[in-house]
Amino acid sequence: MIYLDHAATTPVPREVADAMYAVLTEQFGNPSSQYQLGMDMKKQVEDWRRTVAGALGCDARELFFTSCGTEGDNWAVTAACWQNRHLGRHIVTTAVEHNAVLEACKWLEKQDYEVTYLVPDANGGISAEKVLSAVRPDTALVSIMMVNNELGNVYPIADIARGLAAKNPRTLLHTDAVQGFLKVPFTAKSLGADFITISGHKVGGPKGVGALYIGPRVRNPRPLLPGGGQEAGLRSGTEATAQIVGFAKAVELRMDHLPEKLAHMAAVKAHAVETLSAIPDLMIVGGGTAPHILSVSLVGWPSQNIVTDLSAQGICVSAGSACHQGKASHVVAALKLPKKAAGGVIRLSFGPETTEADIDACAEALKKHHDTRMPML
């Protein structure tokens, strides 16, 4: 199998699975239990928190484990609006966020919030100036993703944070960094966002675990799950110890020689741009500079057919984001591409394991698809 869909999810390395297995079978204690097995687990969870927080560049006390990136996004959006409920009911976000942010915003619209959805330029870019010019005195929250999951565009979060501090310091800033974490270099401290969402399964961890950074400007954050008081009383529920150790182990493995891994992914992407550009009717979509995501369109050939054809040959790519489940992508729609180009968009995404030979096999299959299938769009 040739797996070119690392932005959808990533394979779990053996060491991660082994660490999870040990926690499931031997170190299975509940961190809230008062005997040694439980107390050991409590200590371990804090060690694992320190590992993930270290990679994010924040204090462990600022990092809260969640069940996924979607949960972190929802928590951040609602907690920011809760803190700023007396400031106003306006939110600035983009039309190309993940649905986890978009649907949370739509829910808030039903609670009388007004949401400005910024539309990117034709390359998928959104400037800090564009974001800041949409901010008003009553803007409670600005939520802008760090890396677009379909295009790979990197948005200027640190510039937005600086601009917000000058223009409207009470407005809180959230960034969905699910595709940015361990892909583009940043630290929570240097970024200046108040909330940062990350997810385990995009970096070699298991599905079902993520984390939310909550910075010092968020006073008394609104608890997501009131209950037994875990996660400093903000997100109750017995800690998912196996998922958490898997997340921490994956982060530890990714952090090892990370610059080399990122350089490798960037080289694979550059090779993909060069190789795929030679295919007739193929165009590069968006101006993504993240090392692991590349969108292309086989203009005139429906993306769903390409995905199915490549899948039959053991090659996994996606038609836009996996979360769309076959529906037209709102990200591609926001680019306002001509119909034939929009209909042919597929996303390739890479991990440290991806090789140039994988790209060559994919290019060959795409070329064959182009040469042997009728264009239908």
Binding interface with ligand PLP (CB under 6 A): 68-70, 73, 98, 100, 145, 149, 176, 178-179, 199, 210, 323
Q: Give the tokens for residue 77.
A: 């959006």
Residue 40 beta carbon to ligand PLP: minimum distance, rounded to whole angstroms: 28
Residue 67 beta carbon to ligand PLP: minimum distance, rounded to whole angstroms: 8
Residue 133 beta carbon to ligand PLP: minimum distance, rounded to whole angstroms: 24
Q: For residue 293, give the H/E element and its range.
A: strand 293-298
Task: State how far the Cα of 322 lies from the Cα of 245, in Å rounded to an integer.
Answer: 26
Residue 276 beta carbon to ligand PLP: minimum distance, rounded to whole angstroms: 22
| Cα 14 versus chain centre, distance | 23
**C-beta of residue 169 within 8 angstroms of C-beta of residue 241:** no
> Which residue number, 7 or 92, has a Cβ lying nearer to ligand PLP?
7
Q: For residue 176, give the H/E element and its range.
A: strand 172-176
Residue 105 is among the residues annotated as catalytic for this protein: no
Residue whose token pair is 């993504």? 288
> Which residue number, 284 or 323, has a Cβ lying nearer to ligand PLP?
323
Task: State how far the Cα of 313 lies from the Cα of 364, in Å rounded to an integer.
Answer: 11
Q: For residue 15, give the H/E element and its range.
A: helix 14-25
Task: State how far the Cα of 53 lies from the Cα of 10, in Å rounded to an integer.
Answer: 21
Residue 186 beta carbon to ligand PLP: minimum distance, rounded to whole angstroms: 15
The active-site residue out of 58, 81, 323, 362 is 323
Angle 11-17-19 (CA atoms, 0-180°, nearest 5)? 140
> Which residue number, 177 or 365, has a Cβ lying nearer to ligand PLP?
177
CA-wise closest residue to 253 among 206, 287, 219: 206
> Which residue number, 176 or 239, has a Cβ lying nearer to ligand PLP?
176
What residue number has its CB nearest to ligand PLP? 69
CA-wise closest residue to 288 among 92, 115, 125, 121: 125
Residue 87 beta carbon to ligand PLP: minimum distance, rounded to whole angstroms: 26
CA-wise closest residue to 343 among 301, 375, 313, 373: 301
Residue whose token pair is 């086989």? 298
Residue 310 beta carbon to ligand PLP: minimum distance, rounded to whole angstroms: 20
One-letter amino acid for residue 6 of the chain? H
How far the first Cα of the chain sits from its last, in Å, is 29
> Which residue number, 317 or 363, has a Cβ lying nearer to ligand PLP?
317
Residue 179 burial by Cβ neighbours in a 10 Å radius (0-12, 13-18, 19+): buried
> Which residue number, 118 or 145, has a Cβ lying nearer to ligand PLP?
145
Task: Give me the active site residues, please.
Answer: 323
